[in-house]
Amino acid sequence: MLDALLDKSVVGYTALGYRWRPHSPIEADLSGRVALVTGASSGLGRATATALARLGATCIIVGRNPQKTAAVCEEIRSETGNPNVRTEIADLSLMREVRALADRISGPIHLLVNNAGVLLPKREETEEGLERTLATNLLGHFLLTNLLTDKLEAPARIINVSSGGMYTQRIRLDDLEMKKGRYDGAVAYARTKRGQVILTELWAKRLEPRGIVVHSMHPGWADTAGVSESLPRFYKLTKPLLRTPEQGADTIVWLCASEEAGCTTGRFWHDRRPRPTHRIRGTRESREEQEGLWTALEGMLAG
């Protein structure tokens, strides 16, 4: 009853929502498993990589800044006592760097956490001519995941880190790069997070015969640099209620490690429970639109 009430209220997104829901310790042994985590030099990604390393996984942490990512790698090794943590440097908004990253990964990969993301105040294009929010949050992970598919060793899991903000938007196939009208960074972000949930369902169907599980999740409102820098007013108002990065990452780690999460595929989770993917009338996409997103992203990569 309490969980249902929290799930219908923004209170469920806060630290209070996390504390009021049960979260038993994750005690899985991930020794011999290889995890690749994007956006791992801070926030949710760092917390996820630290927790997976503590459970014994070999971790590949992906970041954009070589010095910062190397320092985080050393910190994770020290904090967890796990020496099997290494770095890869790539900007997920640049498709050439995504391709180079995939080429460097020899495999096998057992856990792929697509976490890197940006929320920008104004519209930007990368040097490859792509809108940066779409490129980082959606297209880069679409390309990376598809390039790594043959290197995923079953039983493998792919976890896509979405956002509760995706509930407010539907996918717009006619304007994926938000060239029409006034640009709104929060809307652009939410649309890409909606796209991640759609891709999760498509990947789940495509990869289930290979024994690969695919889930998406939202972490609630977490106290990360991304939130404080991208949404300063929201951050100032909600800071006392924000989750720690570790609380926000808890469901990511649970989806990677728990037996329960491996029994299903294609679901959207929050605080270790499956949640509906739509709450507002008008955000639901058709099957044709789902497949249309896949086709549109393929077309952008081919162009």
Burial 269-298 (b: 16+ CB within 10 A, else e): bbbbeebebeeeeebebeeeebebbbebbe
**DSSP 8-state secondary structure symbol assigned to residue 193:** H
| Whole-number pLDDT of residue 8 | 80
Over residues 231-257, the mean pLDDT reads 95
Over residues 118-136, the mean pLDDT reads 97
Nearest-angstrom CA–CA distance, 177 and 117: 15
Residue 119 pLDDT exceeds 90: yes
Q: What is the 3-state secondary structure (H, E, C) of 126-155?
A: CCCCCEHHHHHHHHHHHHHHHHHHHHEEEE
Mean pLDDT of the residues in the chain = 96
Length of the chain: 303
| pTM of the model as a whole | 0.97
Over residues 226-234, the mean pLDDT reads 88
| Whole-number pLDDT of residue 1 | 73
Secondary structure of residue 34 in the 3-state scheme: strand
Give yes or no for a contact between 224 and 248, defined as CB atoms under 8 angstroms apart. yes
pLDDT tier at 153, thresholds 50, 70, 90: very high
Over residues 97-102, the mean pLDDT reads 98
Q: Catalytic one among 13, 18, 189, 235?
A: 189
Strand segments (E) across 108-217 = 109-114, 152-161, 212-217
Assess whether 235 carries a catalytic annotation: no
Give yes or no for a contact between 41 and 65, defined as CB atoms under 8 angstroms apart. yes
| Whole-number pLDDT of residue 226 | 86
The string of DSSP letters for 65-105 reads: -HHHHHHHHHHHHHHH----EEEEE--TT-HHHHHHHHHH-
Sheet holding 152-161, edge to edge: 85-89, 58-63, 34-38, 109-114, 152-161, 212-217, 268-270, 273-275
Tens-digit pLDDT profile for residues 13-30: 999 999 999 999 999 999
Amino acid symbol at 258:
S
CATH number, position 106: 3.40.50.720
Over residues 157-166, the mean pLDDT reads 98
Tens-digit pLDDT profile for residues 280-289: 989 999 999 9
Over residues 252-267, the mean pLDDT reads 98
Q: How many domains does the chain have?
A: 1
Domain range enclosing 162:
2-302
Between β-strands 268-270 and 212-217, what pairing exists: parallel, antiparallel or unpaired? Answer: parallel
Nearest-angstrom CA–CA distance, 28 and 258: 7
Residue 303 pLDDT exceeds 80: no
Tens-digit pLDDT profile for residues 57-98: 999 999 999 999 999 999 999 999 999 999 999 999 999 999
Backbone angles phi, psi at 127, to 5 degrees: -65, -10
| Whole-number pLDDT of residue 225 | 86
Q: H-helix or E-strand containing 62?
A: strand 58-63
Nearest-angstrom CA–CA distance, 283 and 302: 28
